[in-house]
């Protein structure tokens, strides 16, 4: 059990049958009345974020979210198969459980599969990936007055904005959390 007075960023707990994670919290002691805790909490399953106030003595059961490293193997229709590197067991995950940033993942990449009480609710790709540019327009010399970018298609089919000097066949590093170009690899 965790009390609202002990909240910390990133902590997970159960509330009304939902798994919540603290995004931000603040202990408030008004001049008049009792103290309370104001917190921004994210429902881990749905992804929605709400702001709530709690009595500091309120107690909630701790929720243990399992993060397991698994290798992305292949796709079959709407199912994406992940392999446990220890047991070689295949785990099918529906496309609806994958986030938008999964478009940067290619086969044989290690991802974190998130589950709560055996139910998979999400997949976290690596923070940074190196991918090859398969299609982009040629850049023009001298066109560098500003931070100009152009669209590029990557080997996974994802499209991002890259600097003008990037050519087809270049390997680049991408931050999967923001979907932005970082550097040449």
**Strands (E) located in the chain:** 2-3, 12-15, 18-28, 36-43, 49-54, 59-60, 66-76, 79-83, 90-94, 110-116, 119-124, 128-136, 149-154, 159-163, 171-175, 180-184
Q: How many domains does the chain fold into?
A: 3
pLDDT per residue, tens digit, the chain (185 aa), is 888 888 888 888 998 888 888 888 999 898 888 899 999 998 887 778 899 999 989 999 988 888 899 999 998 888 999 999 999 889 888 887 787 888 888 889 999 888 888 888 888 889 899 999 999 888 666 555 667 788 899 998 889 998 888 888 899 999 888 888 888 87
Q: What is the pLDDT of residue 173?
A: 92
Cross-strand bridge partners of residue 159: 153
94 and 141: one domain?
no
119 and 142: one domain?
no
54 and 72: one domain?
no
**Residue range of the domain that includes 155:** 128-184
Q: Which CATH number goes with the domain that contains 110?
A: 2.40.50.140
Tokens describing residue 102: 């999964």
112 and 78: one domain?
yes
CA 55 from chain center: how many Å?
A: 30
Q: Which CATH number goes with the domain that contains 52?
A: 2.30.30.30
CA atoms lying within 13 Å on the CB side of residue 6:
12
71 and 112: one domain?
yes
* Residue showing tokens 């193997």: 73
């Amino acid at each position: 059990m965790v009390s609202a007075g002990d909240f910390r960023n990133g902590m997970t707990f159960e509330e009304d049958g939902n798994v919540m994670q603290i995004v931000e919290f603040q202990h408030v002691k008004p001049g008049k009345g009792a103290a309370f805790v104001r917190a921004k909490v994210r429902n881990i399953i749905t992804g929605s974020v709400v702001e709530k106030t709690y009595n500091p003595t309120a107690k909630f059961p701790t929720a243990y979210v399992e993060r397991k490293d698994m290798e992305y193997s292949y796709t079959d229709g709407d199912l994406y198969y992940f392999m446990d590197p220890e047991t070689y067991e295949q785990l099918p995950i529906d496309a609806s459980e994958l986030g938008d940033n999964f478009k940067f993942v290619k086969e044989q990449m290690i991802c974190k599969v998130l589950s709560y009480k055996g139910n998979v609710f999400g997949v976290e790709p690596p923070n940074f990936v190196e991918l090859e540019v398969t299609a982009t327009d040629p850049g023009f010399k001298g066109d560098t007055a500003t931070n100009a970018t152009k669209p590029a298609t990557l080997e996974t089919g994802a499209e991002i904005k890259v600097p003008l000097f990037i050519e087809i066949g270049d390997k680049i590093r991408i931050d999967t959390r923001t979907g932005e170009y970082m550097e040449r690899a």
